[in-house]
A and B are shown apart, each in its own frame.
Chain A
Amino acid sequence: MEKKTLVMGVIGADVHAVGNKILYHAFTAAGFNCVNLGVMVSQEEYINAAIESNADVIVVSSLYGHGELDCRGMREKCDEAGLKGILLYVGGNIVVGKQPFDEVEKRFKAMGFDRVFGPGTPPETTIAALYEDLGVQPPEETEE
């Protein structure tokens, strides 16, 4: 089966590189073709990468609390760039301080994100969501 492509990275002025690497390895092992933009990624970079690689989903990470500001207008820019209906995921410490997650999720969904993941989400949760939304199955175990 053809691999689905995802574009990933840490948005804004955020330099948290470790989680980004862990997610990259987890997504790759889960059978996705990952375009990893690393840290300090702007909205335009996600969008340009998604255009060139014909991505199915953009996975935005944010750990430093400014995610809400950084993510504003991303869906509109995707629409403008011709990426109509591309899946947008966001996860991490995406807001300032401790706020009830259901309110945070509501706000990000209103911004056009399809899935919102709170602090401490294990990669498996996101991967399960990707399989479901993209309608694909985990890769079969193959012997090396």
Chain B
Amino acid sequence: MKPVLLMDFGSTYTKVTAVDVDSETLLGTASSYTTVQTDIGEGLQNALNILEQKTGKLDFSERYACSSAAGGLRMITSGLVPELTAEAAKQASLGAGAKVIRVYSYELTKKDVAEIVSSHPDMLLLVGGTDGGNSECILANARKLSQVEPICPVVIAGNRNCADECEELLENWETHVCENVMPKFNELNIEPAQHEIRQIFLNRIIHAKGLSKAAELISGILMPTPAAMMAAMQLLAEGTKTESGIGELVAVDLGGATTDVYSIADGMPTQSNTIVKGLMEPYAKRTVEGDIGMRYSIWGIVDAAGIDRVSQLSGIAPERAKEMIQFLSENTETLPKDQEWENLDFALASLAVETAVARHAGTIEQVYTPMGLAYSQIGKDLTPVRRVVVTGGAIIHTKRTGEIASHSLQSPNQPGSLRPADAKFLVDRKYILAAMGLLGQYYPDTALRIMKKELAEATE
């Protein structure tokens, strides 16, 4: 037996997962509540004690961790045109597992710079212009930033022709120059920036957030938790050299404050005479809906879907539903206590999944041209995707998982939304996906086989 420990430091929970890489089995999982004030090592020790009560004493040969503690990796991005390089910068940051707190476009004002300083980001991503294209904007922004005291590392990933000049302007700042996120018009090149972001996270941010206290217990904190989740999904979809993956997929992580959606799919048009408009989207794409969550962002679900649909799905009268929702928004630790509350959570979870996946997926519309009917597609066409992976407390701790997950699919009410047409639902019952993303960095085959074994199929 060769046990490996995988840890996920969250802002409220520390989760631990033990795996035996020899027999490729999951030994156990446990979690412990942690507060911001308590030492991170304390939460970890509690979680380990709970784990060892289940599994018996384990002698771990390796320990790896991911973290979203202390707000996760908080980033601010600045680009030129909102739909183009500013969007590319946002995609790059989200894909690297960051929490994007603000996206700026065009030239920064003094007020913008003051806002950036006061929001204490962990990192800035500065982009703008294609290679050989616009340089005024990124240079003006670098100049504005150079007038204030450095606050965090800056990744410069804009027009390569002025990268040197940006670096010179920001000589007081810690700068990291990498390839342009959009070297040619509409050509997305976000991996180099993502790689740089992860490196900085590893080398610098972890220490700044006091996470290195637990370092002696850990072989390495590898990445922010969403990046581990993304790695797991990519591994599950693509497989390894020796073990095949399950193919293109969509994954939904329904949380209390936000809902994350991942798609590992090329998203190209499925019908002929379709013209793709807008920015080309990444093959591995992550979106975060900051206004969609089961507790802290509960009203965002109602705003997006309408109280009538909450009422219709839950069978609870609108007035009563509003009262209950108000209670939950104020008492965020509440779990459903009877059938009525379960019904409400079911309706909210369903609508959260529907809204978040609809925002993630592309859209298509019919265009009548003198040459006949054509289709105009914006974003990714996920209709051919046949696997939807779901995780998050409200989905996995209910009997109606399949029903909730089915709201990720195409519906007749929104024919223009390019969500999967039909899919199998895979449930992360034991909450192991981020851990498998970590394990996959060293034991990809093992992580993949454990995921295939542990993800349970849910039916409607």
Contacts and interface: CB of A to CB of B under 8 A. Distances in A.
Interface stretch (B209-217, B337-345, B370-378): B370-378
Interface stretch (B34-42, B126-134, B192-200): B126-134
B275 A53 contact: no
B275 A39 contact: yes
B157 interface: no
Given A13-B368, A14-B369, A15-B374, A48 B83 contact: yes
A51 B134 contact: yes
A104 B135 CA distance: 37
A33 B275 contact: no
Interface string B335-374: 0000000000000000000000000000000011111001
A35 interface: yes
A43 interface: no
B182 interface: yes
Nearest to B131: A53
B33 interface: no
Contact of B130 (A3, A13, A52): A52
Contact of B81 (A5, A52, A55): A52
Contact of A13 (B81, B84, B135, B369): B369
Interface in A31-46: 33, 35, 38-40, 45
A53 B133 contact: yes
A131 interface: no
Interface in B133-192: 133-135, 182, 184-186
B185 A35 contact: yes
A65 interface: yes
Nearest to A3: B132
Given A38-B275, A39-B275, A13 B367 contact: yes
A13 B366 CA distance: 11
A52 B371 CA distance: 31
B402 to A, nearest CB: 40
B84 A48 contact: yes
B132 A52 contact: no
Contact of A53 (B134, B368, B374, B376): B134
Given A15-B374, A40-B374, A40-B376, A52 B133 contact: yes
A15 B132 contact: no
Contact of A54 (B84, B133, B376): B133
Contacts of B374: 13, 15, 40
A61 B192 CA distance: 36
Interface in B361-398: 367-371, 374, 376
B277 interface: yes
Contact of A48 (B81, B369, B376): B81
Interface in A1-42: 3, 5, 7, 13-16, 33, 35, 38-40
Contacts of B186: 49
A65 B369 CA distance: 11
Contacts of B184: 35
Contacts of B133: 5, 52-55
A83 B193 CA distance: 29
B85 interface: yes
Nearest to A12: B369
A64 B84 contact: no
10 contacts: A13-B367, A13-B368, A15-B369, A40-B277, A40-B376, A52-B80, A52-B81, A53-B185, A54-B130, A54-B134
Interface of B: 80-81, 83-85, 128-130, 132-135, 182, 184-186, 273, 275, 277, 367-371, 374, 376
Interface of A: 3, 5, 7, 13-16, 33, 35, 38-40, 45, 48-49, 51-55, 64-66
Cβ-closest 10 pairs across A and B? A53-B133, A54-B133, A35-B185, A54-B134, A13-B369, A48-B81, A64-B370, A53-B130, A15-B371, A52-B84
Given A5-B132, A52-B129, 9 more contacts: A13-B370, A48-B81, A48-B83, A52-B128, A52-B130, A52-B185, A53-B130, A54-B132, A64-B371
